[in-house]
Amino acid sequence: MTKQLDGAKLAILANRFEGVARKMANTLLRTGRSGVLNRARDFSCCIVTADCDLLAAADALPIHVLSGPDLMARAMREFHPDLKRGDAYLHNSPYHGCSHAADHTILVPVFDEAGKHRFTVLAKAHQADIGNSVPTTYHGAARDVYEEGALIFPAVQVERDFKSNDDIVRMCRLRIRIPDQWWGDYLAMMGAARIGERELEALGRDVGWDQLDAFAAQWFDYAERRADEAIRALPAGRTQATSTHDPFPGTPAHGIPITSIVTVDPAAGRIEVDLTQNPDCLPSGLNLSESCARTAALIGVFNSIDPTVPKNAGSFRRIDVKLRENCIAGIPVHPTSCSVATTNVADRVANATQRAIAELADGHGMAEVGAVIPAASGVVSGVDPRTGAGFVNQVFLGFTGGAARAGNDAWLTTAHVGNGGMCFQDSIELAELYQPILVQERALLPDTEGAGQWRGAHSVRVEFGPIGAPIDVGYVSDGGINGPKGARGGLSGNVAQQHKRKRDGTLEELPACAMIRVEPGETIVSVSCGGGGYGAPTARDRDRVRKDVEEGWVSKSRAREIYGYDV
């Protein structure tokens, strides 16, 4: 029989599980082939229990893992009740727990010596291409999954006895653009998952599988206690906030208002986030998957409470996320498209949630993080005139977006709220080496921050264009109309903008969601959203305002007019 583990043994086993997840992530980072994976680090690795509860994730993107791995593992178990050692499953179905079709996920069930399924390891990575009808993994204008065009894998078996099912591989190679790049990433993900499997098998042999089960149960209880304590520190109340996504093709003309209704019950140590009042699914790629709807609400809550509360199935027990079917921020029904589920509307959910909590009392919650995906973080494709070879890849030429929270200015390079700043930003030189492009400018813009006692991020302006041959740039840039709102008297950050600079130097405004052909001699000028401020700007510490002026973040006139301080 197992017994109660003490606080030291819990700590050690928690470290060991995280160590396994980190080992997976390190392997994936260093072996991936596409830029979105190895230059931008748009991937996550995690471990769920046999009951499909999230146990450990290391260095993962929040929107990838809080909820989703649990749902995907459940789908795997349901579709394949006779799981065996040596199996591996490919999953990207947003109708069965994946975030969106672009996030290919490898699931490997892990067994003890007696053949009992004990854990499942997951390696999830945003792909450079997934065979969509257009060369972008973010098809914002898709009316449904058919127009979106991705191959959908609802936990499809891709390995048996550690050997690959080449039928599936051939299907992918015939459909996904730049198949060698996809194959390189696939191998890297499989390698990471198999390393996780090997490490967990060793851990089980070392410590004993029943001990690991006992640990998981007690670690969840610990996380729940910590969540309980953190929620008890919040004021009681019911509050709501709305964060509106800009109009895109297929949306109402006024855009998509996303409302999060938050009820904090400190006495019970519980938080409820109700998303059911939001609009129905739209004929658009913006609909959330269940994974992203649930996760985005959790992100808003975790951004607002003690950061040391572990994020796992135990702490999640204290957060009730209410979703409904056929809701844009809920549970989509096939063939609804969820092509852009990890960013745009999901970010509105998280932002509305954390800003709602901010309205409960000073010191809590967080302002809004800027919206994405601007053209400078879009998917570029074309034929490289230097080699004659085709290319397609998401670039990360410049993002900011960070929001302020009580006690701290924004983390500048947050990217978007669902990412939390984990993404890498492209090196200009690498971007110019790998794509036939030139980046004329990447510069932060003064006076674009969400002003406040604690200030949000500034916008970054990126100007880039093709060399020698045209390129296509696909993007889904929210936040051009509805900028990131501040909280508790903090001001909004700058809005996003995108223009094409034509050969004669004139600027043409571009739509928010588009696939743009850019000819040599033309450039895209892309401005990212800033981030919202927290608290009244006039309450900002004078030394901070002075330093902002000295460093060129804030002009003297803005310091005087907005911050009320004559430097």
Binding to other proteins (CB under 8 A): which residues in 172-191?
Answer: 180-181, 184, 187-188, 191
| Whole-angstrom distance, CA of residue 237 vs CA of residue 219 | 29
Q: Is position 57 an interface residue for other proteins (rule: CB under 8 A)?
A: no
Q: Is position 423 an interface residue for other proteins (rule: CB under 8 A)?
A: yes
Are 119 and 309 spatial neighbours (Cβ–Cβ below 8 Å)?
A: no
Minimum CB distance to other proteins, residue 57 (Å): 11
Number of residues that bind other proteins (CB under 8 A): 98
Q: What tokens does 99 get?
A: 């975030």
Q: Which is nearer to other proteins, 181 or 497 (CB)?
A: 181
Q: Which residues on neighbouring strands pair with residue 220, listed in sequence order? A: none
Q: Is position 19 an interface residue for other proteins (rule: CB under 8 A)?
A: yes
Q: Which is nearer to other proteins, 16 or 245 (CB)?
A: 16
Please identify which residue in 422, 471, 512, 525 interacts with other proteins, judged by CB under 8 A. Answer: 422
Please identify which residue in 82, 161, 167, 429 interacts with other proteins, judged by CB under 8 A. Answer: 429
Q: Binding string to other proteins for residues 289 to 328, with x set by CB under 8 A, is what?
A: -------------xx---xx--x-----------------
| Whole-angstrom distance, CA of residue 427 vs CA of residue 73 | 36
Please identify which residue in 297, 428, 514, 518 interacts with other proteins, judged by CB under 8 A. Answer: 428
Q: Which residues on neighbouring strands pair with residue 54, listed in sequence order? A: 48
Q: Which is nearer to other proteins, 38 or 291 (CB)?
A: 38
Please identify which residue in 167, 543, 551, 566 interacts with other proteins, judged by CB under 8 A. Answer: 551
Closest CA to 84 of 49, 53, 108, 48: 108
Q: Is position 8 an interface residue for other proteins (rule: CB under 8 A)?
A: yes
Stretch that binds other proteins, among 143-151, 200-208, 244-252, 328-336 (CB under 8 A): 200-208
Q: Which of residues 463-522 bind other proteins (CB under 8 A)?
A: 463, 467
Q: Which of residues 364-403 bind other proteins (CB under 8 A)?
A: 366, 396, 398-399, 402
Q: Is position 433 an interface residue for other proteins (rule: CB under 8 A)?
A: yes
Closest CA to 128 of 53, 196, 223, 40: 40
Q: Is 7 exposed, middle or buried (0-12, 13-18, 19+ CB in 10 A)?
A: exposed
Q: Is position 540 an interface residue for other proteins (rule: CB under 8 A)?
A: no
Minimum CB distance to other proteins, residue 332 (Å): 25
Minimum CB distance to other proteins, residue 67 (Å): 15
| Whole-angstrom distance, CA of residue 312 vs CA of residue 294 | 13
Q: Is position 207 an interface residue for other proteins (rule: CB under 8 A)?
A: yes
Rounded (10°) CA dihedral 383, 387, 389, 393: -70
| Whole-angstrom distance, CA of residue 529 vs CA of residue 551 | 20
Q: Which is nearer to other proteins, 41 or 104 (CB)?
A: 41
Q: Which residues on neighbouring strands pair with residue 508, listed in sequence order? A: 500
Rounded (10°) CA dihedral 298, 241, 347, 135: 140
Q: Which residues on neighbouring strands pair with residue 117, listed in sequence order? A: 111
Residue indicated by tokens 């980046």: 439
In 180-306, which ranges are E strands? Answer: 237-245, 256-265, 270-274
Q: Which residues contact 447 (CB under 8 A, 6 or more apart)?
A: 554, 555, 558
Q: Which of residues 63-122 bind other proteins (CB under 8 A)?
A: none
Minimum CB distance to other proteins, residue 320 (Å): 20
Please identify which residue in 268, 507, 552, 557 interacts with other proteins, judged by CB under 8 A. Answer: 552
Please identify which residue in 276, 427, 538, 555 interacts with other proteins, judged by CB under 8 A. Answer: 427
Q: Is position 225 an interface residue for other proteins (rule: CB under 8 A)?
A: yes
Q: Tell me how far apart the terminal alpha carbons of the chain are, to the nearest angstrom.
A: 69
Q: Is position 434 an interface residue for other proteins (rule: CB under 8 A)?
A: yes
Minimum CB distance to other proteins, residue 36 (Å): 11
* Encoded amino acid at 419, one letter: N
- The phi, psi pair for 509, rounded to 5°, reads -70, 140
Q: What tokens does 256 get?
A: 């998509």
Q: Is position 208 an interface residue for other proteins (rule: CB under 8 A)?
A: yes
Q: Which of residues 331-370 bind other proteins (CB under 8 A)?
A: 366
Q: Which is nearer to other proteins, 38 or 93 (CB)?
A: 38
Q: Which of residues 402-421 bind other proteins (CB under 8 A)?
A: 402, 405, 407-413, 415, 419-421
The count of residues in the chain is 567
Q: Binding string to other proteins for residues 446 to 465, with x set by CB under 8 A, is what?
A: --------------x--x--
Q: Is position 555 an interface residue for other proteins (rule: CB under 8 A)?
A: no
Please identify which residue in 91, 126, 177, 226 interacts with other proteins, judged by CB under 8 A. Answer: 226
Closest CA to 405 of 455, 447, 356, 357: 455
Q: Which residues contact 520 (CB under 8 A, 6 or more apart)?
A: 465, 466, 467, 468, 469, 470
Are 169 and 183 spatial neighbours (Cβ–Cβ below 8 Å)?
A: yes
Q: Is position 31 an interface residue for other proteins (rule: CB under 8 A)?
A: yes
Please identify which residue in 137, 339, 425, 528 interacts with other proteins, judged by CB under 8 A. Answer: 425
Residue indicated by tokens 């589920």: 341
